[in-house]
Amino acid sequence: MSWSTQDIPDLGGTRAVVTGVTGGLGFHTALELARAGAGLTVTARNPRKADDTLARLREELPDVDVEVLSLDLADLADVRRATEELGSRHDRIDVLVNNAGIMIPPYSTTADGFELQIGTNHVGHFAWTAQVWPLLADDARVVSVSSLAHLQAKGIDLRSLTPEGSPRTYRRWVSYAESKLANLSFALELDRRLKSAGKAVVSTAAHPGFARTELQKTGVAMGNPFLGTVVQQVSALASQSAAAGALPSLRAATDPTYTGGEYVGPASLGGTRGAPVIAGMTRWARDEQLARDLWAATEQATGVTFEV
């Protein structure tokens, strides 16, 4: 049976936190959670874009309960500051959607020396989730947003989580694919640890298929603005809307039949578009030893211990 935003249950009295709302997927994820009654905390790096996003949300939902939290996932000190600020505002989070991400930039590093894609998409979100953890309700939901690109990753080079790994040959698409595999691996390992500990928190993952967002344009544009525009225009012919691309995240975050470990994506055309359903994943995503190694390496890299 097809799933739509009409199937989102009443979220009145809950608090949802969504990272990266200045792009299309994050905006539509936040919008529909708020439409169902959730109070919103949305994160952004860019204050101007954050203000624009707030204006759009209030245009759609004049009475929306929304606040902005400044967060730079590429800076672990800022992640720590943001989690402390969130804790000063709220003592309960019911839905955490880790949506923010970057795509195929030229080689660069985070404030802490990690390659930018693995450092932002995985390392930053790992440290963020670990430090937000004490605020999560007993029955909270955590959604990690991955990508079809994870299908291209042949494992994860854990050297990218060490200082000596930084000078390795940089292949932007490989690094992006590994970072999105890391998102999925993390979500599944978190689910296993939660179930082993007898916790009711639900960890799921989602991917948007091939959705029209600024990510294709801005990611490529970091190396070539003209090519970024061309990619976005070509994408418009083959992709689905950002609103449709947000449906897998929304279902992962709200479907009461999901009990953890689900990976949700579009149903049609090889997972590129369509209604949100359980999606396929690679053997690397299901590799429990790789997930344990990734978890341990990320704890060591960040200095953040993540106990569920």
- List beta partners, residue 43: 69
Q: Which two tokens stand for residue 151?
A: 């299908």
Q: How many CB atoms lie within 10 A of CB 111?
A: 14
DSSP H helices in the chain: 24-35, 47-60, 76-89, 116-117, 125-132, 172-196, 214-221, 225-238, 242-245, 247-254, 288-302
Residue with tokens 């449906």: 247
Q: Which two tokens stand for residue 140?
A: 């909270």
Q: How many CB atoms lie within 10 A of CB 167?
A: 8
Among candidate residues 242, 217, 256, the one with its CA nearest the CA of residue 29: 242
Widest CA span of the chain, in angstroms? 51
Q: How many CB atoms lie within 10 A of CB 259?
A: 12
Among candidate residues 217, 8, 180, the one with its CA nearest the CA of residue 98: 180
Dihedral angle sign, alpha carbons of residues 81, 84, 89, 95? positive
Q: How many CB atoms lie within 10 A of CB 258?
A: 18
> Would you name the residues annotated as active-site residues?
176, 180
